[in-house]
Structure 1
Amino acid sequence: MLDKILNYRLLPAVIWLGLVLLAMLSPGDKFPSTPQIPHKDKIVHFGLFFVLNLLWMRVWVVEASKDKKFLKLFTSYLVFGIIFAILVEYLQLYVPNRSFDYYDIAANMLGAAVGVICFYILYKMDSKLV
């Protein structure tokens, strides 16, 4: 039963991780032109990491005992909110028409942090979303 739950939760998290990597490491000139919205790239970074962290916490919290849940939430933010955010931004230095930007890292980390908070609230409310 636990395997079914983990697979049901793991697949969306892995797919989203792949999409985030594809979006963040694709050459900048490969994106279609979009309407000019102020700071739209920061909004995209925020959203990508918000969903990424939310999905991975769904995977990790199932297998955690009650006293380890906070540690799992913190680990999720540490890995996807800080380490992964910096690593992906650094790798953009080697992608054509992409650049390293500290504000993108901040948007990534903020999105991940808000994802943790939202997950925690939904979890405490016994929401079916988590």
Structure 2
Amino acid sequence: MKHYIWSLLWSVIILVLCSLPSETTADVPKFPGIDKLVHTGFFFVLAVLLYYGEIRKRGTSRPSLRISVNVVLFSVLFALLIEYLQWQIFTYRSAEAWDLFADVVGTGMGVFAYLLLHNTYRYEE
């Protein structure tokens, strides 16, 4: 569990920020699509932190399909939970399929970063 402290903390931050009413960010400059960009960024960071926890826990120096499946599964389930909460509990927020898509894109970006950067063990000499 100690390896996942950063990803758990980030998950709580995402949950809190996604549950705030939209009026709380009225003073922040916005452009069309900023909501999707924020969702993508949230889940990119979450995926990276989940990979960090998994790598530290397993002590691996090689890319692993099992690690990627765990990260993607947790991220997608967490994204579904957030959208469900916005639909049923935080009714002042809107649950959108495009938000879920942006979450999955952010997770995919994290997977890509892992595969790209964690593969560098082959080239270290």
The TM-score with structure 1 as length reference comes to 0.80
Task: Detail structure 1 runs of 4+ shifted over 4 Å in the superposition.
Answer: 65-68
What amino acid maps onto 1:122 in structure 2? L
| Count of aligned pairs | 119
- Report the alpha carbon displacement of residue 65 of structure 1 after superposing the two structures with TM: 6.8
2: CA distance, partners of 1:35 / 1:29 = 13
Partner of 1:78: 73
8 Å contact from structure 2 (residues 63, 118) kept in 1: no
Partner of 2:110: 115
- CA displacement, residues 7-38 of structure 1 (integer Å, 9 cap, x when unaligned): 4x533222211111111122222224222312
What pairs with 1:1-130 in structure 2 (closer than 5 Å)?
7=2, 9-64=3-58, 69-80=64-75, 82-93=76-87, 94-126=89-121
Paired-residue identity, %: 26
The TM-score with structure 2 as length reference comes to 0.83
- Report the alpha carbon displacement of residue 125 of structure 1 after superposing the two structures with TM: 1.6
- CA displacement, residues 30-83 of structure 1 (integer Å, 9 cap, x when unaligned): 224222312000000000000001101110122337688211111111111x21
